[in-house]
């Protein structure tokens, strides 16, 4: 019996593999499914016999069925997704194909093979945007209000997962996470982009004058939450995984420049992009009450670890 981890050569998926390898007692083989797109790196996958890599485009039903027929998985952890908002605004189609069609292909294959659990990793962006002065954070009961093609595709995939449970009885779990940061993240995202730009003496341009607020979650804390839910056998529900760390973009960029001993003159401002969300903030109260999980990584410490990883590449 095996596990399947989709997107295992990407940012969060590869960190999850390392968490399995270093911090759990799992002995079962793990089939790592990835199409090695621009944001993935096969070298991020742990180099042990436990992890079996299979190239697979999840938007291709034949590819997916081949993998499931070959390995007959027991559980699926679905990380694979197109995730960059700016790219989704320029071209929605890869997001439709990967995030929606790809998820449906995986759901159908999971149903056929009667898997024990389909864990779908999603995002806080499905909830839309908070106002700066709002006191109520995103909860699992917050209505969905996606405001760009990326978040719309993730909202759709969440609904399809629930529909496959309600209609066909597929066992599932959905977790919606806040903004992850840490090693292995592609340089199109804010923190690695700022690090690389700073080392090259280039400016990092921020939308909306850096006022946008995000809830920052260290990727290892996220992986720990996912595994804890699995260990405790929690099923057929939805949980928010928040970082409990709201910071605006300008503050984060300044912290990076200060750690690297670079001038704050390397901060640039660009116009707000279409569909921009002012603020994300997640309540993880339901998850804490159920499992005892809470984020433990201090942001400044996690940021230092992240910067060191990029500098040592």
Catalytic positions are 124-125, 150
Length of the chain, please? Answer: 313
Nearest to 4 by CA among 82, 61, 48, 65: 65
CB 118 within 8 A of CB 161: yes
Nearest to 310 by CA among 192, 224, 181, 150: 192
Rounded CA-CA distance 209/229 in Å is 38
Distances (CA, A) of 264 to 200, 230, 249, 251, 309: 14, 43, 13, 11, 22
Rounded CA-CA distance 270/206 in Å is 6
Rounded CA-CA distance 251/134 in Å is 20
Rounded CA-CA distance 92/153 in Å is 9
β-sheet bridge partners, residue 206? 269
Rounded CA-CA distance 232/119 in Å is 14
213-218 vs 246-248, strand pairing mode: antiparallel
Summary count for the chain: helices (H), strands (E): 11, 12
Instruction: Read off the tokens for 293.
Output: 């999980």
Instruction: Read off the tokens for 120.
Output: 């779908």
Q: At what angle do helices 249-259 and 299-311 cross, to 10 degrees?
A: 60
């Amino acid at each position: 019996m095996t596990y399947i981890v989709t997107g295992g050569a990407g940012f969060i998926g590869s960190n999850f593999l390392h968490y399995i390898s270093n911090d759990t007692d799992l002995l079962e083989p793990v089939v790592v499914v990835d199409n090695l797109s621009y944001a993935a790196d096969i070298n991020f996958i742990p180099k042990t016999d436990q992890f079996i890599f299979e190239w697979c485009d999840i938007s291709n039903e034949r590819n997916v069925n081949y993998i499931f027929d070959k390995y007959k998985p027991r559980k699926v952890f679905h990380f694979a997704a197109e995730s960059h908002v700016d790219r989704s605004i320029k071209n929605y189609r890869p997001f439709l194909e990967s995030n929606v069609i790809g998820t449906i292909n995986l759901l159908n294959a999971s149903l056929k093979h009667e898997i024990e659990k389909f864990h779908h990793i999603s995002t806080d962006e499905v909830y839309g945007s908070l106002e700066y002065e709002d006191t109520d954070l995103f909860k699992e009961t917050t209505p969905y209000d996606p405001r760009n093609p990326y978040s719309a595709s993730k909202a759709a995939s969440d609904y399809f997962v629930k529909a496959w449970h309600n209609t066909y009885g597929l066992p599932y779990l959905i977790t919606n996470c806040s903004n992850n940061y840490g090693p292995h993240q592609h340089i199109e995202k804010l923190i690695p982009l700022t690090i690389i730009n700073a080392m090259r003496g280039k400016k990092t341009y921020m939308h909306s004058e850096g006022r946008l607020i995000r809830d920052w979650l260290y990727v290892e804390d996220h992986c720990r939450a996912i595994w804890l839910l699995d260990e405790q056998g929690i099923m057929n529900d939805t949980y928010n995984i928040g970082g409990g760390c709201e910071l605006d973009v300008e503050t984060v960029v300044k912290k990076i420049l200060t750690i690297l001993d670079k001038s704050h003159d390397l901060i640039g401002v660009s116009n707000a992009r279409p569909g921009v969300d002012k603020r994300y903030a997640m309540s993880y109260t339901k998850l804490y009450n159920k499992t005892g999980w809470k984020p433990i990584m201090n942001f400044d410490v996690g940021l230092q670890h992240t910067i060191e990883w990029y500098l040592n590449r």
